[in-house]
Structure 1
Amino acid sequence: MSIQVANIHKTFGSFVALDQVSLDFPTGALTALLGPSGCGKTTLLRIIAGLETADSGQVILAGEDASDTHVRQRRVGFVFQHYALFRHMTVFENVAFGLRVKPRRERPKEAEIRQRVHRLLDLVQLDPLANRFPSQLSGGQRQRVALARALAVEPKVLLLDEPFGALDAQVRKELRRWLRRLHDELHITSLFVTHDQEEALEVADQVVLMNRGRVEQVGTPNAVYEQPATPFVYGFLGAVNTFHGRIEGAHLRVGEATLAHSEDQGEVASGAQAVAFARPHELTIITDPGHDAGIAASVVRILSFGASTRVELDSLTPASDSELPIHYEVMLPRDQIQALKLVEGQRVRLVPSRIRIFQSQAA
C-alpha cells in the first residue's frame, strides 16, 4: 500500500510537533523515521496509524484520503517499543488475539486461525515456544511475538515505534538484521521510528531525517550519510569533526590555520563565516614537526578496536568563544597507527582529505 502525508501540522499547546510535513513513502519499502527525541517522528507515525489526529493536513493511503478513517479501517499493524503482550495469554494466544476479536463475518474459522498463527510463529522462528507465556521469553523473543501479532491481521502497512529500544545492544543488532530479512520476504510497506543512526542506516531502504517537527532530508542510507543536505544531518549521522571559520578563496580559515577544500562551495561566498565537517576517516594525522598545514592538535587517547584505531585529540588553538579546546576524532587502520608511532601528548597536525562546508546561520 502506498502512503503519503500532505501538509501535516500538529501542535500540543504551544509546542509545534509537526510543521507542515509532506512525505511520500515508497510502496513495499522499509522507511526509517530518524531524529532526536521530540522531533515529531512518533507523532507522525501515530497520525498515520490513526491513533492521533492532525490539526490540519492529509493522510493518503492507497491514493485515498484516510484522514478521518478509523484506525480499525486503515489495515495498519502497529508494534510498540514495550511489547504490550497479554501476560495471561500464551505466545499462540497473543498472536491469535487480533484474529479472534474480528467481527463474526470477518473472522476466519478456527482451523484457519491456527494455521495462520503457526505459519507466523514459524516465520519469526518461535513456533516451538507457542505454549509459553511472555514471562518465559527473552526481550528479543517478546518483540518477535509482538511483530507476529501485528502481522496476523494481514496489515497493508506495518508501523514500528522504536521496536528494539528496550533491548540491549547485542540483541538489537541481531533483531534488526532479522527484521531486514523478514521485510525482504514479506515486502509490506513499513515505517519504523528510531533515534539510533546505525539502526536506520543498516535496516532501511529510505531514511527520513527529522528535526524540530520538520523534514531535514529524505534519501537512501548511502545518500543521507555521504551527501548530508544540512549541518544538522551531518552532525546527527555518525561521528563528525566540526571546524568553524571564514572562507578565504579556496580555503577555510580556522584561527591561524587554513584548510583547503576542493568541492563546490555552493552559496558560501568568500569572506563568509562558515562551518565545515569531516568524518573521522577523512582526517589525516601528520607527525612531521616541519609541516605547517592543517590544524595543530595534541593526542589525548589512542583506542584500538580490531582492525581500526580511534585517536582522540585536542586542538592546540582554543575555540574563538571559549578557552576550552576543541576535540577531534580520527579513525585509521591499525597498521597505519603503528607506522606513525603515536603517543599520548604528542603534537601533530590534522589535515582533512575532504571537508563539507556550509555557511554559518549566524553569518
Structure 2
Amino acid sequence: MSIEVRNVHKQFGDFTALHNVSLQFPDGELTALLGPSGCGKTTLLRIIAGLAQADSGQILLDGQDASRQHVRERQVGFVFQHYVLFKHMTVFDNIAFGLRVKPRSERPSKSEIHERVMRLLSLVQLDWLADQYPSSLSGGQRQRIALARALAVEPRVLLLDEPFGALDAKVRKELRRWLRRLHDELHVTSIFVTHDQEEALEVADQIVVMNKGRVEQLGTPDDVYNRPASPFVYGFLGNVNLFHGRVRQGVLDTGGFEWQAPDHALVEDAPGTAYVRPHDLDVARYEPGAKGIVARLLHAHAIGPLAQLELARADNDDIIEVIIPSEQYAQLAPREGEDLLVTPRRVDVFLETAG
C-alpha cells in the first residue's frame, strides 16, 4: 500500500508539532522517520495510524482519503517501544488475540488461526516459545512477539514507534538486522520512528529527516549521509568539523585556508561554513609553506582498524576531529604536541543564515 501525507498540520496549544508536512511513502518500502526528540516524527506516525487527528491536511492510503477513517478501518499494524504484551496470556495467545476479536464474519477458523500464529512464530524464529508467558522472555524476544502480533491481522501498513529503543545496544543491532531481513521477505509498507542515526542508515530504504515539525530532507540512506541538504542534516547524521569564513565568488576563505565553493559562485560576500566529516580529512607532517590547515595533535586513539585524532588549529585553537586508517597512523607515528598538516578530500559549504 502506498501512503501519502498531504499538507498535514498539527498544533498542541502554542506548540506547532507539524508544519504542513507533505510526504510519499512508496508501496512495499521501509521508511525511517529520523530526528531529535520533539521534531514531530511520532505525531506524524500516530496521525498516519489514525491514533491522532491532524488539524488540517490529508492522509491518503492507495490514493483514497483516509483522514477520517477509524484506526480499525485503516488496517494498520502498530508496534510500540514498550512491548505491551498481555502478561496473563501465552505467546501463542498474544499473537492470536487480534484474530480472535475480529467480527464473526471476518474471523478465521480455529485451525486457520493456529496455522497463521505458528507460521508467524516461525517467521520471527520463536516457534519454540509458543507456550511461554511474556515474563519469561528477554526484551528482544518480547519485541519480536509484539511484531508478530502486529503482523497477525495482515495489516496493509506496519508502523513502528522506536521499536528497539528500550533494548541494549547489542540486542538493538541484532534486531534491526533481523527486521531488515523480515521486511525483505514480507514487503509490507513500513514506517518506523527512530532518533538513532545508525539504525535508520542501516535498515531503511528511504529516510525522512525531520526537525522542528518540518522535513529537512527525504532520500535514500546514501543521499542523506553523503549529500546532506542542510547544515542540520549534516550535523545530525554523524560527527562533522565546521570551518567558518567568508564566501566570495565561489571561494570560502577561513583565514589561512581557502575552500572551493562552486555552488556559490555568484555570491559577492557572505558568511559561510565548510562542513567536513572526520574521515574526509587527511593528515601529514607539517612542512612550512605547504597548503593546508596547521593543527597541533592533542590526543590520538588508535585501537582497532581506525585511528581517531583530536587536533587544535594553530590559528584559533578550534578542535578538529580526524579519522584515518590505523595503518596510516602507524606510518605517520605523530607525537602528541606535534604540528600536523590537515587537508580536506571533500567539503560542503553552506551560507550562514540569520537566526
**CA deviation after TM superposition for structure 1 residue 291, in Å:** 4.2
Asked if the contact 1:143/1:163 (under 8 Å) is kept, the reply is: yes
> How far apart, in 1, do the equivalents of 2:289 and 2:116 lie?
69
Matched-pair contact (CA < 8 Å) for 1:7–1:20: yes
Give the Cα separation in 2 of the matches to 1:268 and 1:25.
36
Q: Deviations over 1:197-250 (max 9, x none)?
A: 111011000110100000011111101111111111111111111111112445
Task: Report the equivalent of 1:23.
Answer: 23
1:292 deviates by: 4.6
Structure 1 contact 268–358 (Cα < 8 Å) conserved: no
Give the equivalent residue in structure 1 for 2:320: 328
1:259-313 per-position Cα deviation (integer Å, ceiling 9, x unaligned) = 332x522477142110110111111113224245332322222112421111122
Partner residue in 2 for 1:97: 97
Mapped partners of 1:137, 1:305: distance in 2: 36
- 2:351 matches 1:353: no
Checking the alignment, whether the CA contact within 8 Å between 1:5 and 1:59 is kept in structure 2 is yes
Gap runs ≥5 in structure 1: 319-324
Is the partner of 1:317 in helix, strand or coil? coil
Match of 2:259 in 1: 260
2:153 maps to 1:153? yes
Q: How many residues are aligned here?
A: 355
Residue 108 of structure 2 is matched in structure 1 by 108
Secondary structure in 1 matching 2:235: helix
Give the match for residue 294 of structure 2.
Answer: 296
Q: List 4+ stretches of structure 1 deviating above 3 A.
A: 248-251
- 2:285 is matched with 287
1:342 is aligned to 2:334: yes
SS at match of 2:53: coil
| Residue 316 of structure 1: aligned partner | 314
Q: Distance in 1 between matches of 2:54 and 2:202?
A: 31
For residues 290 and 266 of structure 1, the distance between their equivalents in structure 2, rounded to whole angstroms, comes to 31
- Residue 8 of structure 2 aligns with which residue? 8
User: Cα distance, 1:162 vs. partner?
Assistant: 0.5
**Equivalence for 1:138:** 138
For the residue of structure 1 that corresponds to 2:257, the secondary structure is: strand
SS, match of residue 273 in structure 1: strand
Alpha carbons 2:83, 2:146 under 8 Å: kept: yes
Whole-angstrom CA distance in 2 between matches of 1:140 and 1:231? 35
SS at match of 2:97: helix
Measured in 2, the distance between the counterparts of 1:158 and 1:259 equals 49
Query: Which residues in structure 2 correspond to 1:20-169 (within 5 Å)?
Result: 20-169=20-169
Please give the alpha-carbon distance, in whole angstroms, between the structure 2 residues aligned to 1:347 and 1:266: 32
Which ranges in structure 2 are unaligned for 5 or more consecutive residues? none
Q: What amino acid does structure 2 have at the position aligned with 1:28?
A: G
Counterpart amino acid of 2:53?
T
Report % sequence identity.
61
Two-structure CA RMSD over aligned residues (Å)? 1.5
User: Could you tell me how far apart the structure 1 residues matched to 2:250 and 2:20 are?
Assistant: 38
Structure-2 separation of matches of 1:267 and 1:2: 41
AA at the equivalent of 1:348: L
Residues in 2 aligned to 1:144 and 1:89: alpha-carbon distance in whole angstroms: 16
Q: CA deviation at 1:316?
A: 3.0
TM-score (norm 2): 0.97
Task: Say if 1:311 and 1:121 are closer, same or farther in 2 by CA, change over 3 A.
Answer: same
In the alignment, residue 135 of structure 2 is paired with which amino acid? S
- CA drift of 1:252 comes to 2.1
* TM-score of the superposed pair, with normalisation by structure 1: 0.94
Distance 2:11 2:211 in 1: 15
Decide whether the 8 Å contact of 1:18 with 1:214 is kept in 2: yes
8 Å contact kept, 2:249–2:264: no
Partner-residue secondary structure (3-state), 2:28: coil
Task: Give the equivalent residue in structure 1 for 2:177.
Answer: 177
